[in-house]
Structures are given as C-alpha cells and as structure tokens.
Amino acid sequence: MTGRVWLFGDDIDTDMLAPGLYMRGGMDELIKHCLEAADPEFAKNVRPGDVVVGGRNFGIGSSREQAAQALVMLGVSAVLAVSFAGIFYRNALNLGLMALVCPEAKSIRQGQALTVEPENSRAIDPTTNASFACEPLPPHLIAMVRAGGLLAHLEQRLKASRT
C-alpha cells in the first residue's frame, strides 16, 4: 500500500482522534473533527490510502475505538508511530487498521509518498527507495488486519465451529 504521509508529533491522544464533544453525533459527524486539534486540514484533505505517521505514544487516552475507526473511515491505510498506547494499538488491529511500530518514524516527512510493507516489517519511500524499519507484527495479526479485523476473524471461527 502506497499513500501520502500526514505527519504528527508525540502524544496524539484519543480526544484529538475522536473528540468527546462529537461522540454522540455518530461517526459521520465525528470523522469531520478527527485530529482537528492537531491539524485542521487533515480531515478535510486526507485521501484514501494515505498514511498517518506519529511520534511516541500515539493514541494515548481513552479506550474509545472511534479513535481508530475514524482513521479507517477516512481511508487511512496504515499508522506508523515511534510507539503506541496499548489500548489504541489493540483497537487499531482489531478494527483492521494496520498499525506498525516504527522507531525511525521521526525521519519520515510530511506529504512524502510511503509504501507500507507489514510482511517485510518496513516502509519505503518509493521516490528515493529509503527504507524505514518497523517492528515485526506476528503473521496471525497481519492476517487478522488484512481480513478486516477481529470481527471478521471471529465470524470465520464461529462458522468453522458450527460446521
């Protein structure tokens, strides 16, 4: 998957990703305000396939899944960060959002193109071929994300147990 990079700093929290003020109004309203406290242009201009890159502690805060779901609905294809908050990380994978720990994320630039290759534990700049190493994700979790997340995976499991 290749997309444009939206670059964010450290400690991007779940109140920025899914502001509590808009939580009642449903996802369609919520996603318009996704990350507006950090970058007002993001929700307006993000395109399907784009990649979100963060610093340390991405997704700190509440357990609200809407934080990851908003990125999925906006078409974000992957999130790379120096480190993730635990609940957000689990939520992202469960919702089918590729989340990779990338210690070198700080050398990625806003707006550059990026090809994310979870199977190879890296992301690549297709213009310069510069490579950014990511921590490997266990194959069964990559498969779960590719399948669309935990629900799809459970669906298969329940189907198998019924037959």
Partner 1 sequence: MNRPQTLTQKIVARAAGRAHVDVGEVVTCNIDLAMMHDSGGPRRLQPMLKRLGASIWDPSKVVVVSDHYVPAVDAESASILKLTREFVRDHKIERFHDMQGICHVVLPENGHLRPGMFVVGGDSHSPTGGAFGCFMFGVGATEMCGAVVTGEIWLKTPGTILLNWRGKLGPMVSAKDMMLALCKRLGMGGAEYQVVQYAGDAISGLPMFERMTLCNMAAELGAQVGLIAPDAVTEYFLAERGVTNIDTARWQGDAGAEYLRVEEFDASDLAPQVAAPHSPANSGPAAEQRGVAIHQAYIGACTGAKINDLRMAASVLRGKRVAPNVRLLVAPATARATAEAAADGTLAALAEAGAILMPSGCGACAGYGAGVLAEDEVCIASTARNFKGRMGASSSKVYLGSPYTVAAAAVAGMIVDPREVAS
- Give 53 or 114: the residue with its C-beta nearer to partner 1: 53
What angle, 0 to 180 degrees and rounded to 10, lies between the N-to-C axes of helices 86-94 and 66-73?
50
Unique residue bearing structure tokens 């992957």: 78
Please state, in angstroms and rounded to a whole number, the distance separating the CA atoms of residues 113 and 101.
Answer: 18
CA angle 8, 33, 97 (to 5 degrees): 60
Q: How many CB atoms lie within 10 A of CB 143?
A: 11
Unique residue bearing structure tokens 């996802």: 27
- Give 17 or 123: the residue with its C-beta nearer to partner 1: 17
- Give 7 or 141: the residue with its C-beta nearer to partner 1: 141
Closest approach, Cβ 1 to partner 1, in A, equals 22
Closest approach, Cβ 20 to partner 1, in A, equals 4
Amino acid, single-letter form, for residue 72: V
Stretch that binds partner 1, among 13-21, 46-54, 114-122, 124-132 (CB under 8 A): 13-21
Stretch that binds partner 1, among 6-14, 105-113, 118-126, 128-136 (CB under 8 A): 6-14
- Give 128 or 162: the residue with its C-beta nearer to partner 1: 162
- Near partner 1 in 101-160, by CB under 8 A: 149-151, 154-155, 158
Could you tell me the two tokens for 17? 């990703």
SS3 101: strand
What angle, 0 to 180 degrees and rounded to 10, lies between the N-to-C axes of helices 150-162 and 139-147?
90
- Residue 86 binds partner 1 (CB under 8 A): yes
Binding residues vs partner 1 (CB under 8 A): 11, 13-16, 19-21, 23-25, 36-37, 56-57, 60-65, 68, 83, 85-87, 89-91, 94-95, 149-151, 154-155, 158
